[in-house]
Amino acid sequence: MTESASRADIHLQPRPGTDCALILSMLNVIVNEALYDAEFVDRWCYGFDQLRKRLQDYSPEKVAETTWVESDKIRSAARMYATTKPAIILHGMGIEHLNNNVEFIHARYILESITGNLNVDGGIVLTGPHSKLISENELALSHLLPPEQRKKQIGADRFKVITWPGYELIQDNIKRAWGQTGGLQSDECVAIAPLVFRAIISGEPYPIRAIITFGSNPMLTKPHTKLVYRALNRLDLYVVHDMWMTPSAELADYVLPAASWLEKPRLFTASNNLSNILAGERALPTTIPGEYDRRTEFEIWKGLGMRLGQAKYWPWMTDEDVYDYRLKPLGCTLKNSCEAVGLTSLPLS
């Protein structure tokens, strides 16, 4: 019973891990009682009939046994949400850490969408890349990677949404809708980690000889620890950039001390997908001679890029220079933006 819950009209207290079943039961009520936005469903939804059929397994009475939430409360919450316009659902990292977090998030967005709360004032708003701010996507120069090299990405032939095939489709449509790339999935075009570890061990479809990890601890964060351990030990070169000597760092050939959040500036836009910028200046230097010497991610990547002959792509000297470059179309710098808003955020309007 938090302070927020004490002020609520209805307080649902589901058994831990059953949030997805609770959402599906609310959807059961909304669909069966025709409380959804029929116009939206007819125009935009695919598979609604299959959804309706699936929801019949989640009656409030049945779900009450699973969630320990009374069926009457489930019905009341569903009706309140569906008939109160606009409405929004907020969820935090507690949900993200559940075993079925992906399913919960799917159900949550279905609930918001079919009740007419998608992309409306007061509901969940779909934002796109800002027309002026230079995004991480543009800095990455991903368009320079030739198609034949993209096809070599581990897992791109099987898991297409989060690899190059899906990335290209999404970015093409973002550009069509917003006039530029960026926004959704601009930083999520990645090889599939479990397949990468297997490729390191097997050499198929090609040998992987070296890995650099930044603020990552695959020995603890990736499934199948024994497989990860074998893979990391098989590498010719493993470099870790981290603040801590993690179990993964213990296996590394080189461990590079990483700057903390206090020792580097900040310019966060969630892949240029927010309506504002989270900005802040660095509070401490990364290096104090004779005391400590740490590096930011930018400094590591620039150092590597310069040694690989990429000097023309790295014209900036510091993290601040990069952020000033990104903010230049808005007519400001990191420093004066932070001063203007007291180190909090800079509206993009």
Q: Is residue 222 part of a domain?
A: no
DSSP structural state of residue 58: -
> Which residues lie closer than 8 Å to 154 by C-beta, 6 or more apart?
191, 192, 195, 196, 199, 205, 208
For residue range 286-301, what is the model confidence (pLDDT) as tens digits? 999 999 999 999 999 9
What gap in Å lies between CA 126 and CA 140, rounded to an integer?
A: 23
Q: What is the CATH number of the domain that holds 94?
A: 3.40.228.10
Q: Is residue 121 part of a domain?
A: no
For residue range 29-88, what is the model confidence (pLDDT) as tens digits? 999 999 999 999 999 999 999 999 999 999 999 999 999 999 999 999 999 999 999 998
For residue range 144-201, what is the model confidence (pLDDT) as tens digits? 889 999 999 999 999 998 899 988 888 888 888 877 776 554 456 889 999 999 999 9
Reduce the DSSP state of residue 280 to 3 states and report it: strand
pTM: 0.77
From edge to edge, which strands make up the β-sheet containing 210-214?
210-214, 237-242, 254-257
Q: Is residue 33 part of a domain?
A: yes
Among 96, 114, 132, which residue terminates a domain? Answer: 114
| Mean pLDDT value across the chain | 90
Q: Is residue 147 part of a domain?
A: no
Query: 313 phi and psi, to 5 degrees?
Result: -95, 0
Among 114, 144, 175, which residue terminates a domain? Answer: 114
Whole domain around residue 85: which residue ranges? 3-114
Q: Give the pLDDT of residue 348.
A: 46
Q: Is residue 157 part of a domain?
A: no
Structure tokens at 190: 């990645």
Q: How many domains does the chain have?
A: 2
Q: Is residue 129 part of a domain?
A: no
Q: Give the pLDDT of residue 346.
A: 46
H or E element at residue 315: none
Among 91, 114, 137, which residue terminates a domain? Answer: 114
